[in-house]
A and B are shown apart, each in its own frame.
Chain A
Amino acid sequence: MDLFLFELQKLVFNKTTCIGAAICLLLVVTGGIMNAVNLKHEVGDYTMFVAQLQEQEGPIDQQLGEQAVAEVTRLQALRASNPQAFAVEDPRYVTLQYVYANAYNMALNYTHGSERENPENPYSIAGLEQYLNRHAGHSDTFAYRNVERHLAMKQEAGVPGFFNTLVWDELLAFLGKGGALILALLIALVVSPVFAGEATSNMESLILSSKLGRRKIVTAKLLSTITFATLLVVGFFAVCLAAYFLPFGGLTGLDQPLNSIYSFHLSPFGGWSLLSYLLASVGLAWLVCVTLALVTAFTSATQKSPLPVIGITIALLLGPAFLKGLQSVLWPIVDFGFLRLLEGMPVFAYYKAYNLLGNPVLYPVVVVAVVSILSLILTCLTFACYRRKNASLGA
């Protein structure tokens, strides 16, 4: 226990962590403030806007939806032909029309799909039903079962409705892009010296010569790494929620359905509340961050300086993004790339399942299994690596 606490202190209370955390905090708070400023600029009195919007919240009204689409078309034409006339339009009215038209289109896309929908790879309710009708004679194939499951999940999710998701849209977009990268880089930066730093600071000899220096120190270091990753993920999400929602008076919309967010309107988990999604994405981020921290720790145990560790971790993070073109061949690398998983959205926004003995196994389930197994393997490898370790010969 003592060793664990010391290792945790070494990890948390050092210059790199403090500077990294400060930069991270600055970026998140700036993002939250910018979002608030932009939104208030768009709609003026936000409280009044929310009151107007709440009147229409709930299932999509087709008539209102068609009107909103028509209004948006008119407004877009006006903006293009006469910007001065467009400028005098009530900004709250304009925004409301845009968001309602958007929600209406989401509902249409969910139900009927679009012209671009591939009949052999459908996503809409109609497209999925048609696929099943066309392939009724192949009900024992994986493809059929997969679509069947897809349809069942989507029907369970229900038609996307209209809700105030303006702040959530921005927050989830941030978490899915910059946020994931910030988290991953902070882990790479902080965890990289966990073992390699001992060689750099000439403490490795002393550690290896001590009674507990080959076994319990590894346990202590790995536990502190996992604890750090946990604190980081929880802290990061808490700060993000605070930064994005405090300017609007507090956290709202937790009970709204996930598919009311544009990015998730086709999600098989669309029926989840935003709170459920938030918990799931925190859980996934935690698992991925812990695994990433363990990858970094293992790499650190094989190196004598933290710099190559940071390099290798960054390559592991960004590499899969460059391999997207080769997804058909390198799909395990692309599908299970740390950054993609940390983004959360690619895991939950669309239906994706793997063929396991002819049965469709959902992407998030496979992700959890793969990442957990990888964590276990990395833990064992780190123990084995450190147990066989020789100190670097400084003289």
Chain B
Amino acid sequence: MELVLDSIRKVYGKKVALHDFSEVFTPGVYGLLGPNGAGKTTLMRVIADVLRPTGGRVMLNGKDKDELDEGYRDIVGYLPQDLGLYGSFTGRKFLMYVAALKGLRRQEAAVKVEDLARITNLSECLDTHCGKYSGGMKRRLGIAQALLNDPRILILDEPTAGLDPMERIRFRNLISQISKDRIVLLSTHIVSDADMIAKQIILLGKGRIVEQGTVADLQASMQGRVWSARLPQACLAEISERLVLTNVAQKEGDVEVRIVCERKPLDGAVPAQPVLEDCYLYHFKYLAERGEW
């Protein structure tokens, strides 16, 4: 299976949300990272067939999305960023409603609902009204509805927002398990979520791909750009104004800082092992502040 985005462009009035975005997706998890307004949600909505692009094409296995129409949407599972629920519906009724929207037969849907409720840890509150759900429960219900039609393309916009660490880990493992033979697009602000399971990371900024590659590639690209230094507490304010700090930790009266910089930023700074978060901050803070993209 191959999902091709060919020069996707989306314009809102005078604002260009996506600049000729092109990418080829094959089965596996893709982590979409970027600051607010980078175009992540717009991109996901275009792929989910919720938003018509101003230009460009979305092709599945060589066929245009618009040509496939219902056939395309049939294999898409989408969890919007801010999914609303009907307060008067129970969780079960909501899932049955979405199943009907997805064209599932009632009996098949009923089995699927039970199954997904168990996977998303919602079995006990399936007959509670959605209006009484906590933020985390709503998110889990959102994940369950996205999986109802056993989608080949799963689009998850901020899926772990509002989930506690246990639920996040559970969810991450679930995505990892099901990603073997499907394309999973995961947009998140929680870099570690993508770090752990994504086969490919796409850094998106101002509607363009800023950087992309495997986690290892991106970390390798940061070699020599991440530093560690131990400073007196008094220097911290001045340093944090001048440099991009990715971490500050108290160490026996001093502070140990982690710095993203093209060259050695301070005397006594030593190279540190890069992580994905460093890469994110390098592009969206370090380079952005210097106007380099």
Interface residues of A (CB under 8 A from B): 2-3, 6, 10, 13-15, 200-217, 388, 390-391, 393-395
Contact = CB atoms under 8 A, between A and B. Distances in A.
A211 B70 contact: yes
Nearest to A203: B84
B80 A202 contact: yes
Nearest to A13: B88
B45 A205 contact: yes
Interface in B78-120: 78, 80-86, 88, 93, 96-98, 100-103, 106
B168 interface: no
A395 B84 contact: no
B51 A393 contact: yes
Contact of B83 (A10, A202, A215, A216): A202
Contacts of B88: 10, 13-15
Given A202-B83, A206-B98, A395 B74 contact: no
Contacts of B97: 3, 6
Contacts of A203: 83-86
A329 B45 CA distance: 48
Interface residues of B, number: 35
A169 B76 CA distance: 60
A391 B145 CA distance: 18
Contact of A209 (B52, B73, B103, B106): B73
9 contacts: A3-B100, A201-B84, A202-B82, A203-B83, A206-B145, A208-B50, A210-B102, A211-B101, A395-B41
Nearest to A205: B80
B70 A212 contact: yes
Contact of B86 (A3, A10, A205, A395): A10
Contacts of B74: 211
Given A202-B82, A203-B84, A209 B49 contact: yes
B100 A2 contact: yes
B86 A391 contact: no
Given A203-B83, A211-B102, A211-B149, A391 B50 contact: yes
A298 to B, nearest CB: 20
A-B pairs with lowest CB-CB distance, top 9: A202-B84, A201-B84, A210-B101, A2-B100, A205-B80, A209-B78, A209-B48, A391-B50, A211-B74
Interface in B120-154: 145, 149
B39 to A, nearest CB: 11
A395 B78 contact: no
A391 B49 CA distance: 9
Interface in B207-254: none
A210 B72 CA distance: 9
Q: Which of B42, B85, B101, B102 has most chain A Cβ within 10 Å?
A: B101
Contacts of B85: 201, 203
A216 B103 CA distance: 10
B73 A213 contact: yes
Nearest to B146: A206
Given A13-B88, A390-B52, A206 B83 contact: yes
A3 B105 CA distance: 11
Given A206-B145, A211-B70, A212-B70, A3 B80 contact: no
A222 to B, nearest CB: 16
A86 to B, nearest CB: 58
